[in-house]
Structure 1
Amino acid sequence: MRAVVYQKPFSVSVDQVPKPTILHPDDVIVKVTTTCICGSDLHMYEGRTAAKPGIIFGHENMGIVDEVGSGVTLLKKDDRVVMPFNVACGRCTNCEEGRTAFCTIVNPGFGYVAMGPYSGGQAEYVRVPFADFNALVLPPGIEHEEDFALLADIFPTGWHGVQLSGFRPGESIVVFGAGPVGLMAAYSAIIRGASDVFVVDRVPERLEKAKEIGAIPIDFSTSDPVDQIINIRGGKEVDRGVDAVGYQAVSGDGKTEQPNVVLEALIRVVRPTGGLGIPGLYVPSDPGAPDSAAAQGYISFPFGKLFEKGLSLGTGQCNVKAYNRYLRDLIISGRAKPSFVVSHNLKLDSAAEAYEKFDKRIDGYTKVLLHP
């Protein structure tokens, strides 16, 4: 089959690789209909993770069940399914408590790349382990294909960021980063009844998307974003904040990496006893970090001010299964249409060019869906 294979930093190719097979009775093989390029893929693409050349990319996958293992009882051939980006066993303590992003069987080290010996789904087929637990069944057909594809990661992750912040209906919130996850966080806050939603970024197309959904765009390349927000609010801070940027945050020039810049801004802009949700990716080691401390996952930020303001802090990958079936039903009912973030639908063979343009944030590449 064809698959997107990581060659070296800033280089992927579509190669012929062996088609996956059933390795365990709990497996299914899914014929992929849509697979997305995620901002998290760019961390690997840029050589900023432990990803090794030769791996197949792709953790946002949906398709049609093609083969079913003998131990699978809930799924059947030809079911239309979408899978969480974080594979989970469904049986360990964390899974039983709904913390599927921290499955101690599949993902004992909790690392983004080290999520078990599984090939990605930017390919014609993908093997899904623990399939009864991991695969979410969708209505048959092709309706809502773009929307459902976003249930694999970014819609639940955006929702999770808002949840981590402790948000309550009627509160104000700021989201740093207007990439796909940041836009999903803003959209989730709007769906959940936020009074004001601010979105901070510097890319015009992203800020325009934020404005289109009813958020207030803040361009941090023009001046300090915290000052802008507090000025708009007549001197008041916001109730909640979400970091949808992570460890490759940049200063106002858009080029200089400053891993702590978003964390510092959130601590300044959120009111005393407010909350911070941090779904943006931070890693314990970064080969391309701007300094030796950040290379080992150490980031300096004003913890004293965090303590003084009594801020709560929630972090970590999204427990997709805690949200995805409910978000699926919001889509089916017409209450949510997350596909507004999708900029391109491309054939799998266009992956190399799509990665390059998405990484450079050019030609309007904001969210790319690949179709094998």
Structure 2
Amino acid sequence: MTKMKAVVYDKPFQVSIQDVQKPELQHPNDVIVKITTSCICGSDLHMYEGRTGAQSGIVFGHENMGIVDEVGAGVALLKKGDRVVMPFNVACGHCLNCEEQKSAFCTNVNPGFAGGAYGYVSMGPYQGGQAEYVRVPFADFNALQLPKGKEHEEDFALLADIFPTGWHGVELSGFKPGESVAVFGAGPVGLMAAYSAKLRGASEVYVVDRVPERLQKAESVGCIAIDLSKGDPAAQIKKLRGGREVDRGVDAVGYQAVTADGKTEQPNAVLEGLIAVVRPTGGLGIPGLYVPKDPGAPDSNSAKGYITFPFGKLFEKGLTVGTGQCNVKKYNRYLRDLIIAGVAKPSFVVSHNLSLKDAVDAYDKFDKRIDGYTKVLLHP
């Protein structure tokens, strides 16, 4: 077989299922994985909506798991038949950043850009896994082995990105057990950040969004829902806390933030909200995506990646800021073991398990936040 089915980006708001070339081993350290689950990520929607420099023809899919089907001669740890999940980061494993557990910023796999990923604009020549097969380079480093069988399929699939990324957002904020946290955005990453804060011993977790299904998901894991459509979220949170601010804040929205009506883009809305709601000397974790170029930006500055926010207030309050993509390998084996032990079950965010052939409709509904589409898993 030389062809396979895959989800291909055509143009803004349009993907299609096409026959594309099946990946082949290109290096002795490669493996080919037969995909069992690939997820649609909120980050995919930035490309889907035409809000990046993505060109037609990209095979989407950076959240991938499956069964090793072919093994390069230089692969030492993996064998055919192994069940694996891949971090969305494509990384070499031996550059300075990789050695320091900063695999999201590998300097070897995508020269000129800090880091690589499957099926994402500017992130290197790595075909995505919303397909029947995917090639995994530096496979011993980039594939995490899982128990054989089909148990925890939904949970393990989330180890590719959103569970570690949510955990990373909390980590970036400087969180300590017993502290209070405000998470802006109850999409998959925001829900995972809130869930991670609960797992790590947060005293209170507030989750800000305006989509009822998302807020209900947050409440289902013991978080306090803050409906953006009902007014300034920082003011709502402080009112509930008797005027007190929270210890930590997480931005799980990024550059396509909107005002309370949900219709007007305001790229700095979440940053302003976090600075307003986090206590002096607290911390902000920003795993939400920000880009250097945005073709659909609401103003000329944010089109170039320049976003205005109250730096003076941030300085006055002595807030620390952590940002950047998640170094998935730093966390994924530990989160895997939490799943196996029954301590964590991140799949509460999953709303739909669909066939790969249903991806076109799934992208449309997920993008419109309708019919309860909160997290979609695709199965070839």
Q: TM-score band, normalised by the shorter chain? A: over 0.9
Give the structure 1 partner of residue 360 of structure 2: 352
How many Å separate the matches in 2 of 1:24 and 1:255?
48
Give the structure 1 partner of residue 271 of structure 2: 263
Question: How many angstroms does 1:223 deviate by?
Answer: 0.9
One-letter identity of the residue aligned with 2:101:
G
Question: How many angstroms does 1:113 deviate by?
Answer: 2.2
One-letter identity of the residue aligned with 1:171:
E
How many Å separate the matches in 2 of 1:96 and 1:70?
24
How many Å separate the matches in 1 of 2:50 and 2:75?
37
One-letter identity of the residue aligned with 1:110:
A
Q: 2:6 aligns with which of 3, 18, 22?
A: 3
SS in 2 for 1:17: strand
Give the structure 2 partner of residue 177 of structure 1: 185
One-letter identity of the residue aligned with 1:126:
V
Question: How many angstroms does 1:61 deviate by?
Answer: 0.1
How many Å separate the matches in 2 of 1:174 and 1:235?
14
Question: How many angstroms does 1:110 deviate by?
Answer: 2.8
How many Å separate the matches in 2 of 1:84 and 1:322?
10
How many Å separate the matches in 2 of 1:49 and 1:138?
34
Q: 1:110 aligns with which of 114, 123, 133?
A: 114
Q: Does structure 2 conserve the Cα–Cα contact (< 8 Å) formed by 1:86 and 1:115?
A: no
**Counterpart check, 1:273 vs 2:281:** yes
Which consecutive segments of 4 or more residues in structure 1 shift more than 3 A?
Answer: none
TM-score by length of 2: 0.97
SS in 2 for 1:158: helix
How many Å separate the matches in 2 of 1:113 and 1:320?
19
Question: How many angstroms does 1:115 deviate by?
Answer: 1.6
Q: 1:147-296 to 2 correspondence within 5 Å?
A: 147-296=155-304
**Counterpart check, 1:99 vs 2:108:** no
Q: Deviations over 1:325-358 (max 9, x none)?
A: 0000000000000000000000000000000000
How many Å separate the matches in 1 of 2:369 and 2:59?
23
Question: How many angstroms does 1:318 deviate by?
Answer: 0.1
Percent of aligned pairs sharing the same letter: 79
* Stretches of structure 1 lacking an aligned partner (at least 5 in a row): none
How many Å separate the matches in 2 of 1:50 and 1:86?
19
How many Å separate the matches in 1 of 2:174 and 2:337?
23
How many Å separate the matches in 1 of 2:108 and 2:235?
45
How many Å separate the matches in 1 of 2:305 and 2:231?
28
How many Å separate the matches in 1 of 2:283 and 2:69?
44
* Stretches of structure 2 lacking an aligned partner (at least 5 in a row): none
How many Å separate the matches in 1 of 2:361 and 2:90?
28
How many Å separate the matches in 1 of 2:333 and 2:295?
37
TM-score by length of 1: 0.99
Give the structure 2 partner of residue 363 of structure 1: 371
Give the structure 2 partner of residue 76 of structure 1: 79
Give the structure 1 partner of residue 322 of structure 2: 314
How many Å separate the matches in 1 of 2:130 and 2:70?
18
Q: Deviations over 1:263-311 (max 9, x none)?
A: 0010010000000000000000000000000000000000000000000
**Counterpart check, 1:341 vs 2:349:** yes
Two-structure CA RMSD over aligned residues (Å): 0.7
Question: How many angstroms does 1:51 deviate by?
Answer: 1.2
SS in 1 for 2:230: coil
Q: 2:54 aligns with which of 38, 51, 55?
A: 51
SS in 1 for 2:33: strand
